[in-house]
Structure formats: C-alpha cells, structure tokens
Amino acid sequence: MQFFGGSEISPSPPVPTASGNNAYMLYVFNRNGVCLLYREWNRPLKTLNSHQDHKLMFGLLFSLKSLTAKMDPTCVDKGNLGVPQLPGQGCSFHSFRTNTYKLTFMESPSGIKIILVTHPRTGDLRESLKYIYNLYVEYVVKNPLYSPGTPIRCQLFDTTVDQYVRGLG
Amino acid sequence: MAPVAPRSGDAIFANVERVNAELFTLTYGAIVRQLLTDLEEVEEVNKQLDQMGYNIGVRLVDEFLAKSNVSRCVDFKETAEVIAKVGFKMFLGVTASVSNWDAEGTTCSIILEDNPLVDFVELPDTCQGLYYCNILSGVIRGALEMVSMKTEVTWLRDMLRGDDAFELQVKLLKQVPEEYPYKDDE
C-alpha cells in the first residue's frame, strides 16, 4: 500500500482473502481510557450507550490483562492482583473467542490499545492489528491537525481502516 | 504465529522515508534563529526548544514502536541501549553509545560523536548559554513519558561549546504505571 509520502508500511499487510466483511467492530483506546476511535460495521444488538460501552470495553481489557498476567504459570515475579502494570510488560492476552465472536487485542508499550471484534472463525489477527497500528502512526500521529489524547476525526484514516478491515479473511 | 523479532536500526533506517540531511540541518538552524529573534532570552529559547522536543517525542514514540517492533524493555539499561542504537539510528541516521551508568542503574549518559543538527553551526558570543540541540532532550523526555517513565534529560557536553562530543545525561525519576482511569461511581 502506497501513501502520499511514498513509503511502504511495514510490516506489509497480510494478504486479504475476499470474503466480505468479517469484522464487527473496532475500538482504539489510549493509555488514559479515552476512546480514540470506534468503528462499527456489523452490530445488530446495542445494549449500552456509547460512553458506557467504551468504559465497559476498557474496563474488561484492563481486568483481563491483570488476570491473565496473574495466572501466568511461567512467570516468576507476580504482582498482586489489581496492581497496575506497565503496558506491554509481562504476559498479555491477545484474543478470546466465544461462540458468536472473536475479540483480538493489541497493546503497544505506549498504551495504545487496538481491539477488533470479528466473526469467530477468523484466524490470528495479531499481524493485522500491527498493521492497523502502523496506519494509526501514518495517518493520525503524523497529522499536525490531530492533538494526542483526543478522539480521532480523520476521514482518510477512517476510510483506509474500513478498506483494510473489509479485506480481512 | 511467532512474534516478529525487533528490527535493527540499520534495517529500519534503510526502509523509512528519508529527507536531505542539509535541508534538515538548515531548517533546524532557521527555527533556532527565529526563536532567538522572537524570544531574545537564551534561557527562554532553551525552554521552548525543550517543549517543542517534548511535543515531538510524544508522537515520535508511536512511530518508533510501530516500525521497530521492540517489545517493552525489561529495565532502564535496555531502554537506554534501544534509544541509542535503534532510536537515534532510525531518526537521525547516527548511532549513539551509552556509558557512565550509576550504581542503581537509573542514570546514564548517551554520547553522540556525530550530530546532524550541528553541521555548519557556530555559536556567536551573544548566545553562549544556548543549548542548540535542546530539542533532542525534549524528544527523549517526551517519548519516555509515553512509555510510563518520568525522566530528566540534561546536556553534559556540547561540541558547540568546545567539548569533544555531545553527551546527554538521562536520569530516570520514576516509573508511572497505568492507573484505572474511571472512578467507580461514574
């Protein structure tokens, strides 16, 4: 994929298989819990208003990370449950699957969390989330009109993400 | 799928889009000169350069993490090595070295033999208190703050003032872990 600067995004995106839209929702949070982006492609049931929904999602991930790190059988040093950890440290869960959806999660050491909710049959999406992180860097971080820590209002970013996610197998 | 290994500074530098070094140096020089004209006080200019660097660092860290694939550094020693070997290489095209660790491992010096910002630069007598490359100290401070480390970055040696290399002292003040941001009753 070529950008206006002519640079290649790396890692290069996984080859998309053309099977329509498998993704349901995408969330991007920053380290303070601010929801930077929420995209929805297929969500028939909405139970909460968007503010509560974002809080719930962020809270869920925060607790899951803490819990999975605590339950880690290979780690020698375990903090107490509930003690905040540094982003990216120790073991971190990357996805969970139910019978109706699969949620894939990626957190950068700078605290940017990317969550993609897809069809349960989807494969490993970690590379795809890394690619979306690269898109975030190119379109949002490098955008001088964007203030860090505020919700993203960049149409080009939205369209590129939509296009990419639509192509995911 | 096995996680991708972090890439070396050279590999990333070869892949990112680069800009002409002279254009970069001269643009930076123009910025400093303009700041000196606008603010007049050398101390103010130092502070402003540091603030600009901080704003850059806050955004730069995401690009760095995305392109270099490093995972969270285990301790501050690793952090300093990564900044010197991968970070400086990736953004400025020069490799720095790390030395002068103190006993607790919280303070170190990053030494730059070669600095593209100062090509063709000479400080006049009226600007003797100026830290010409102060933007770099702001960048490091801003970037590290986004990865939960509060640091203090100061210049120990400055080639524009007659020393033989550029030496930055980076001191880790504290690690700030993530707190759950929502209050329970909201």
Q: Which residues on chain A are in Cβ contact (under 8 Å) with B68?
A: none
Q: Please, what are the domains in chain A?
A: 23-42+49-71+85-166 (3.30.450.70)
Strands (E), B21-122: 97-99, 107-112
Window 153-182 of B: residues touching A by CB (8 A cutoff) are: 175, 177-182
For residue A141, how many other CB atoms are within 10 A of its CB? 19
Q: pTM of the prediction?
A: 0.85
pLDDT digits (tens, 9 = 90+) for B80-101: 999 999 999 999 999 999 998 9
Select from A7, A83, A137 the Cβ nearest to the Cβ of B66.
A137
Helix ranges restricted to H, chain A: 50-70, 126-136, 155-166
Q: Contacts by A51-57 with C-beta closer than 8 Å and gap 24+?
A: A54/A27, A54/A29, A55/B182, A55/B186, A57/A27, A57/A29, A57/A115
Instruction: Note whether B67 contacts A134, CB cutoff 8 Å.
Output: yes
Strands (E), B62-148: 97-99, 107-112
ipTM given for this complex: 0.86
Average pLDDT, chain B: 88
Average pLDDT, chain A: 81
Instruction: Note whether B63 contacts A137, CB cutoff 8 Å.
Output: yes
**What is the Cα gyration radius of chain B?**
18
- Is residue B146 less than 8 Å (CB to CB) from chain A? yes
Instruction: Note whether B71 contacts A8, CB cutoff 8 Å.
Output: no
Q: Which residues on chain B are in Cβ contact (under 8 Å) with A124?
A: 1
